Structure 1
Amino acid sequence: MEWEKRNRHFLAPGNINDSHNNRPKLKPELLAPAGEMAALKAAVENGADAVYLGGKAFSARASAANFSHSELIEAVKYAHLRGVKAYVAVNTLIDNQEMAEALEYAFFLHQIGVDALIIQDLGLLSVLRRVLPELKLHASTQMTIHNAEGVRFLAKWGVDRIVLAREVSLAQIAQIHTQTSCELEVFIHGALCISYSGQCLLSSFIGGRSGNRGRCAQPCRLAYSLEPAGTESTKPPAKGEASHLLSTRDLNTLELLPQLVEAGVSSLKIEGRMKRPEYVATVVRIYRQALDRLFNNPADFQVNAAEKRDLEQIFNREFTPGYLLGNPGRDLMSHQRPNNRGVYLGRVIRYDRQRKQVRIKLEDTLRCGDGIEIWVTKGGRQGLTVNKLLVNGTLREEAYAGEEAIIAGEAAMHPGDRVFKTYDGQLMSRALESFRQTQRRIPLRVKVTAAVGEPLVLEAVDP
């Protein structure tokens, strides 16, 4: 209490610098993940303003394909030529004997024109501010910055942007924005962690693979049994039991874009450096379209059903707004499964054991080439690829909601079993086509100078 009395002038909201309260709301940057070159192209061609990627070392996503030095050069050139910024994650904790190598790597990244480094290690921050003061630095979410004082502290050290901890709410983001002048970056879509951002030690303790060193084994996605304290039972979870007790849902904030902009977020970050390029293409496309609509006509902004469905179809563990609207409690969790749930497709009507065929009553479209998963009453889940579709005795390429479709299936299924589409061939093809060839157009201002006896001069400038 004595501390509060001495610092009351500092804690009172009215006495904290609020000179930034009336800053105009600018269109935030859409920042996309790139775990490989194909994903980078997918992000750029579908409208990302910036991409973030990692090299072969010092990246908190060591299991992603990542980029060699030559690939980093190519990636930065590709992005910059199309007006897209490139940030490189150097966001592991740096051991003492690694500091020289990390600095050499930072010099290389600066030389090839990287727009900023995303870092976690305070020692690296300290050295980089001394030896490369012109290099822009972003504080990784691994730093767990969740209040205005944390932002101000790092800003004094020359950090240009803070990737806020995923646990902050919209109200807290707005308050931090009001009380500071630093750029704020917020995760808007993708996987979440059960632990506070940057504070998970579970993988390190269980398997000796530290998430803060880029080697998280994702033990939070495993199945666990919950036993009374004091027991020594090690029995596995029963089948059908909600056993993924630490597995979170995926973040989805598409319908919260107006509130995120109003809160003063500078950069909207999509998670997914370990996701396939088609995922990156789909998610970036949808957020790009929604963000553009919001700024073109804010009064009438709404998310359409097709966008919601495509986000759900491309990958979901069920969705949550995370902590943006407050503590979500149990609604943060996806206890039944730790991987892609897909989109509900219908229910099994009958299974023909002799012909090994399953009849499904559809509530959505099913096409040849789609992948489905049947949640079998006994025996877990059965995955199938649809190679042939039979509707009313006729082979078809697709079947529609309300129809009954027959497909081949080896494992026994039961009437009433739920069916989910986990792979939509048409959606994946459309996503792949979006970045198969360069399509992003860049406006240029061209000037031609011609004079008798002089060489023709052509100047092209990105306005």
Structure 2
Amino acid sequence: MSTPSPSIVPSPVSLRWSTTDRRSSPELLAPAGNWECAKAAVENGADAIYFGLERFNARMRAQNFTEADLPQLMEFLHRRGVKGYITLNTLVFPGELPEAEQYLRTMITAGVDAVIVQDIGICRLIRHLSPDFPIHASTQMTITSAVGVEFAQSLGCQLVVLARECALKEINKIQQQMVDRQIALPLEVFVHGALCVAYSGQCLTSEALGGRSANRGECAQACRMPYELIADGERVELGDRSYLLSPQDLSGLAVLPDLIRAGVHCLKIEGRLKSPEYVANVTRVYRQAIDRACHLTPAHPSSPTPPPSALRTTTHAPANSPQSSDRYNLEMAFSRGLYTGWFRGINNQELVHARFGKKRGVYLGEVKRVQKEHITIHLQAPVKPGDGVVFDNGHPEAKEEGGRIFAVDTHGAEAVLSFGRGSLNLKRIHPGDKVWKTSDPELGRQLRQSYAGDTPHFQQSIDLEVYGELDQPLMVIARDPQGHVVQVESAMPLVVAHSQPLTVDRLSDQLSRLGNTPFRLGTLSAQLNGSLMLPISELNRLRREVVSQLEAQRIQPKRWQLYPDRTLSDLLPTSSAAPSSPAQLIVLVRTLPQIQAALQAGMPTLYCELEDPRQYQEAVRVVRTYRQGSSVREPAASLSSTLPPPELFVAPPRITKPNENWILQQVRSADADGYLIRNYDQLEYFRNDRCIGDFSLNVANPLTASYFKQEFNLERLTVSYDLNIDQLQDFMKTCPAHWFEVTIHQHMPMFHMEHCVFCAFLSEGTDFTNCGRPCETHEVKLRDRTGTEHILQADAGCRNTVFNGVAQTGAEYVHRLMELGVNQFRIEFVNETPEQVTQIIRRYQQLLRFEIKGSQLWRALKLQNQLGVTRGAMVD
């Protein structure tokens, strides 16, 4: 590209400024479950979209895209200056790795901008195939600390999506610690949408209750169901609160400036299962809010704004303010109630209101009178004919009355709503019922118009520099926000202007006519030497040429490197024969009496998980006292006399947040024989100790397994609970089987969550500082709709785990796994009595000695409920 002639003597530089420069603002990332959603996101200001293909994405119920769609989709996105990220954010099983490899090759070749990944093995495979194809660490990787970010960086990730549970203070602390550790990796957070109550990547509820894994994109949304609270065997009366695990929807709008100040690189909207109208609505609201926060000029027609009478009057913002309009639009898009989630810290009283678990919308008011076809309400947000409403009588699990309003007659603070004859069963509507506006057809029409047709609705700014002198061509240099640069020159020289010379205003007027293009004029600077003229037709041609060349540059696919000779097989570990040793049981206990029972039953290896890490010293003392006593007993007096002295591994909590190393210090102070590792912080903290990798590391394929074995020297790995027996058998054929232990008996840990049910419903406190610690004085269960009572426990970080009330067993498959070389089998206890612990251990000892069959075991232990036998995650 040539540069402006140095012979030009510039006149004083004239500038026409537009302050729209989104390169300095955070990226806005919108969801796209199909083509129409992708278009809605682009036309409403998304900087990037994320979408899934037919396999390996965490929203398998979305329509999704196909591999064949990729070239056309990426060309459309790049022409509009928008990036496209593919979600490959599920665990990948051994037999699926070849297909995943082919998917990755297709993505890289198609010029996809990045891939969002959960599986550690897939990160390794990507880096093996390509040195520069961008990897984004999914929120499914459960990263909550700077150590977790550094772990992702070591895998070759270029960006980390933090867990939703990270508060603003924690995000700032992570950023600070990243600087201290010299980690330069951008961070992304979810800023709006449905809020999972459990940590992403750590929710096994769908797997436990229905064989559908959230780690495989098949979440059954059990958190949105009603539960009864059972404390010390008695049902707790909670009034109309029964959706105890259903958080309000996340809305980070109120903390958007704080997120920007915290240096968050990307703000992500949830919703790949939502409609195009939802995508358009939420994307536009956040686009404009980001622009306001960054003092940018809007590049879009103003947001659909309801009349002031339709705005919520209870908001603190004025009725006609952007914030009030934004709130209205977001509530109409989809709302179970909007809340800032964990951004402002933990408030267990507000996170989960527990009154419903489905979409509501804008709160209109309360029913005052019901007369014939007319319903009088005390109005909070007046409505108009055509709007849809639902009447909430406090029983959202039942059929609710609702319909479209035929007419509205307003009298001060009251309004009489009329409905079509027979459209409502008025006997089911009573004074005191709440009324919600669930549909606004006018708003929906405006949103659909925002992405209708082929003409671009949202335009990105381009900056123009114009240079010219007499008898030389006029030169125009254009730059877009993505860094593309083009230079075009007029086909004729500039001549002396006898009238109407070129000025900045005239140039701006002509070159800004970009109406049917993806562009709009941002800044324009001109250096013209003298009073010069060029025909309007030539200026128009220059403008069209700028657009054509910029579009041509934009649609060129990204040229990521792809090693032609590297394949998946290069990374697969060599499977070797397991050392010849008898199969052993390992037990995980959660109370001190259970430790005594397990020791008496002759267990050589115990794992211990206690709520209070300070009790680990006592657990270690109990085991070592027993160990010393065993060494002097007569052989006949001890069941464990022929076994090695018992060893105790203790378990830190599953999540480690910034400033929580004190918990790890307490765990280590017990001086146990080893540690059960649950997360990335613990991998680093206990790196020089004996360690076992727990199920929460999500080891589901040989690429992940070999990474943990080779990089962290873990003695064994616990196989992911997402694998069924066929997949588990495939897995054992790809790695040395003695690397692993398999959990064959457990109460599946379903929800693991920051939300504290104890605090929310057994106290008036907001968090651990003022809740009174009901978790220490009450035994609590959650009773589901089938009558099953699931066990609730808290840990040292006040995080709750809901354990399946019915124990699951893989006993039928133990002998088959032993033939494959597996010789370490784990059984886990939660609230069993010492007598139950003894009985269960005895049965599994008989199983390993081939004295009973697996089917005999689960029948003898009565591992069943009214829905039938629950044989665990390994069931075919």
TM tier, shorter chain? Answer: 0.7 to 0.9
Whether 1:310 aligns to 2:343 is: no
TM, length-normalised to structure 1: 0.84
Q: Which moved more, 1:319-328 or 1:99-108?
A: 319-328
Alignment map for 1:145-164 (pairs within 5 Å): 145-164=143-162
Q: Give the structure 2 partner of residue 427 of structure 1.
A: 443
Q: Give the structure 1 partner of residue 33 of structure 2.
A: 35
Please report how far the alpha carbon of residue 85 of structure 1 lies from its aligned counterpart in structure 2 after TM superposition. 0.4
Whether 1:373 aligns to 2:395 is: no
The count of aligned residue pairs is 421
- The one-letter code matched in structure 2 to 1:108 is T
User: Are residues 238 and 357 of structure 1, via their aligned partners in 2, closer, same or farther at CA, if it must alter by over 3 Å?
Assistant: farther
Whether 1:167 aligns to 2:165 is: yes
Matches of 1:187 and 1:66, distance apart in 2: 20
Whether 1:287 aligns to 2:286 is: yes
- The one-letter code matched in structure 1 to 2:339 is T
Whether 1:217 aligns to 2:224 is: no
Instruction: Choose which of 365, 370, 373 in structure 2 pairs with 1:351.
Output: 370
Kindly indicate whether the alpha-carbon contact (under 8 Å) linking 1:167 and 1:197 is maintained by their aligned counterparts in 2: no
- The one-letter code matched in structure 1 to 2:83 is K
Matches of 2:359 and 2:223, distance apart in 1: 15
Q: Give the structure 1 partner of residue 269 of structure 2.
A: 270
Deviations 1:330-373 (A, max 9, x none): 32113111111211113323323xx4443444332322331101
Whether 1:447 aligns to 2:488 is: yes
Q: Give the structure 1 partner of residue 244 of structure 2.
A: 245
Deviations 1:241-279 (A, max 9, x none): 311111111111111111101111000011111111111
Instruction: Choose which of 425, 428, 432 in structure 2 pairs with 1:410.
Output: 425
Q: Which moved more, 1:438-447 or 1:155-164?
A: 438-447
- The one-letter code matched in structure 2 to 1:340 is K
DSSP-derived class of the 2:230 partner = coil
Where do 5+ consecutive residues of structure 1 fail to align? Answer: 1-24, 393-398
Kindly indicate whether the alpha-carbon contact (under 8 Å) linking 2:188 and 2:265 is maintained by their aligned counterparts in 1: yes
TM, length-normalised to structure 2: 0.46
- The one-letter code matched in structure 2 to 1:66 is N
Q: Give the structure 2 partner of residue 19 of structure 1.
A: none
DSSP-derived class of the 2:101 partner = helix
DSSP-derived class of the 2:294 partner = helix
Matches of 1:171 and 1:448, distance apart in 2: 52
Q: Give the structure 1 partner of residue 597 of structure 2.
A: none
Instruction: Choose which of 348, 351, 354 in structure 2 pairs with 1:332.
Output: 351
Deviations 1:151-189 (A, max 9, x none): 112212210000011111112212222323101000111
Q: Which moved more, 1:90-99 or 1:319-328?
A: 319-328
Kindly indicate whether the alpha-carbon contact (under 8 Å) linking 1:356 and 1:410 is maintained by their aligned counterparts in 2: no
Please report how far the alpha carbon of residue 46 of structure 1 lies from its aligned counterpart in structure 2 after TM superposition. 0.5
- The one-letter code matched in structure 2 to 1:447 is V
DSSP-derived class of the 1:325 partner = coil
Matches of 2:355 and 2:461, distance apart in 1: 49
Please report how far the alpha carbon of residue 448 of structure 1 lies from its aligned counterpart in structure 2 after TM superposition. 4.9
Kindly indicate whether the alpha-carbon contact (under 8 Å) linking 2:77 and 2:83 is maintained by their aligned counterparts in 1: yes
User: Are residues 238 and 223 of structure 1, via their aligned partners in 2, closer, same or farther at CA, if it must alter by over 3 Å?
Assistant: farther
Where do 5+ consecutive residues of structure 2 fail to align? Answer: 1-22, 298-320, 463-477, 479-486, 493-540, 554-876
Please report how far the alpha carbon of residue 86 of structure 1 lies from its aligned counterpart in structure 2 after TM superposition. 0.4
Kindly indicate whether the alpha-carbon contact (under 8 Å) linking 2:254 and 2:340 is maintained by their aligned counterparts in 1: no
Q: Give the structure 2 partner of residue 261 of structure 1.
A: 260
Matches of 1:378 and 1:215, distance apart in 2: 27
User: Are residues 120 and 266 of structure 1, via their aligned partners in 2, closer, same or farther at CA, if it must alter by over 3 Å?
Assistant: same
Please report how far the alpha carbon of residue 140 of structure 1 lies from its aligned counterpart in structure 2 after TM superposition. 0.3
- The one-letter code matched in structure 1 to 2:419 is I
Matches of 1:220 and 1:117, distance apart in 2: 28
Instruction: Choose which of 344, 360, 363 in structure 2 pairs with 1:341.
Output: 360
Instruction: Choose which of 34, 50, 65 in structure 1 pairs with 2:63.
Output: 65
Q: Which moved more, 1:269-278 or 1:325-334?
A: 325-334
Kindly indicate whether the alpha-carbon contact (under 8 Å) linking 2:362 and 2:437 is maintained by their aligned counterparts in 1: yes
Kindly indicate whether the alpha-carbon contact (under 8 Å) linking 2:374 and 2:417 is maintained by their aligned counterparts in 1: no
Whether 1:119 aligns to 2:117 is: yes
Please report how far the alpha carbon of residue 318 of structure 1 lies from its aligned counterpart in structure 2 after TM superposition. 1.3
Kindly indicate whether the alpha-carbon contact (under 8 Å) linking 2:241 and 2:355 is maintained by their aligned counterparts in 1: yes
User: Are residues 387 and 72 of structure 1, via their aligned partners in 2, closer, same or farther at CA, if it must alter by over 3 Å?
Assistant: farther
DSSP-derived class of the 2:451 partner = helix
- The one-letter code matched in structure 2 to 1:74 is Q
Please report how far the alpha carbon of residue 402 of structure 1 lies from its aligned counterpart in structure 2 after TM superposition. 4.3
Percent of aligned pairs with the same amino acid: 40
Instruction: Choose which of 174, 177, 200 in structure 2 pairs with 1:176.
Output: 174
DSSP-derived class of the 1:348 partner = strand
Matches of 1:240 and 1:309, distance apart in 2: 29
Please report how far the alpha carbon of residue 52 of structure 1 lies from its aligned counterpart in structure 2 after TM superposition. 0.4
- The one-letter code matched in structure 2 to 1:384 is G
- The one-letter code matched in structure 2 to 1:315 is F
Matches of 1:150 and 1:384, distance apart in 2: 48
- The one-letter code matched in structure 2 to 1:433 is Q
Kindly indicate whether the alpha-carbon contact (under 8 Å) linking 2:383 and 2:408 is maintained by their aligned counterparts in 1: no
DSSP-derived class of the 1:265 partner = coil
Please report how far the alpha carbon of residue 450 of structure 1 lies from its aligned counterpart in structure 2 after TM superposition. 3.9
DSSP-derived class of the 1:323 partner = coil
Please report how far the alpha carbon of residue 296 of structure 1 lies from its aligned counterpart in structure 2 after TM superposition. 1.1
Matches of 1:151 and 1:70, distance apart in 2: 34
- The one-letter code matched in structure 2 to 1:405 is L
Please report how far the alpha carbon of residue 377 of structure 1 lies from its aligned counterpart in structure 2 after TM superposition. 6.7
Matches of 2:153 and 2:138, distance apart in 1: 13
Kindly indicate whether the alpha-carbon contact (under 8 Å) linking 1:345 and 1:362 is maintained by their aligned counterparts in 2: yes
Q: Give the structure 1 partner of residue 93 of structure 2.
A: 95
Matches of 2:278 and 2:341, distance apart in 1: 20
Kindly indicate whether the alpha-carbon contact (under 8 Å) linking 1:365 and 1:401 is maintained by their aligned counterparts in 2: no
Matches of 1:91 and 1:215, distance apart in 2: 12
DSSP-derived class of the 1:312 partner = helix
Instruction: Choose which of 372, 391, 407 in structure 2 pairs with 1:389.
Output: 407
DSSP-derived class of the 2:220 partner = coil
Whether 1:49 aligns to 2:52 is: no
- The one-letter code matched in structure 2 to 1:385 is G
DSSP-derived class of the 1:268 partner = strand
User: Are residues 306 and 390 of structure 1, via their aligned partners in 2, closer, same or farther at CA, if it must alter by over 3 Å?
Assistant: closer
Whether 1:322 aligns to 2:341 is: yes
Q: Which runs of 4+ in 1 moved over 6 A?
A: 237-240
